[in-house]
Amino acid sequence: MKEICSLHQSDRLHVVHVHDSGKDEEALNMAFDSILKEIPHDVHMISGDDVSVELDQYATQSSADLLVLIKKEKGLFESIFHKSVIKRLTLQATIPFLIL
């Protein structure tokens, strides 16, 4: 992701993290800031239950050119009982997306 951003230096990276309430947003902000310190970026924390809907709405409202998803490793029970965000976004996304 850092290499992609360095190729497009005039653009700003928007990091969007969709979470359920109860997460420590300040700690997440600091973690993103330390990782992306040399890349111009904004961190947006969105609280919501349906990650794919929230990401699609944000991408549409912000006129994003590309949506990049970082695949989260899931445990056995989580993979059985939770729907895939990537599969749902494939069906409803209005912009191109890249899966890492």
Note down pLDDT in tens along the chain; length 100 residues: 778 777 876 678 888 888 776 667 788 888 888 888 888 888 888 888 777 788 888 888 888 888 777 776 666 655 555 566 666 766 676 778 777 7
What integer pLDDT is reported at residue 78 of this predicted model? 57
Asked if residues 16 and 41 have their Cβ atoms less than 8 Å apart, the reply is: no
pLDDT at position 82? 58
Tokens of 90: 């494939």
Closest listed residue to residue 37, CA positions, set 13, 20, 19 = 13
How far is residue 40's CA from residue 13's CA, in Å, rounded to a whole number? Answer: 6
Residue-level pLDDT at 66: 80
* Beta carbons of 34 and 63 less than 8 angstroms apart: no
Name the amino acid, one letter, at 14: H
CATH for 2-99 is 3.40.50.620
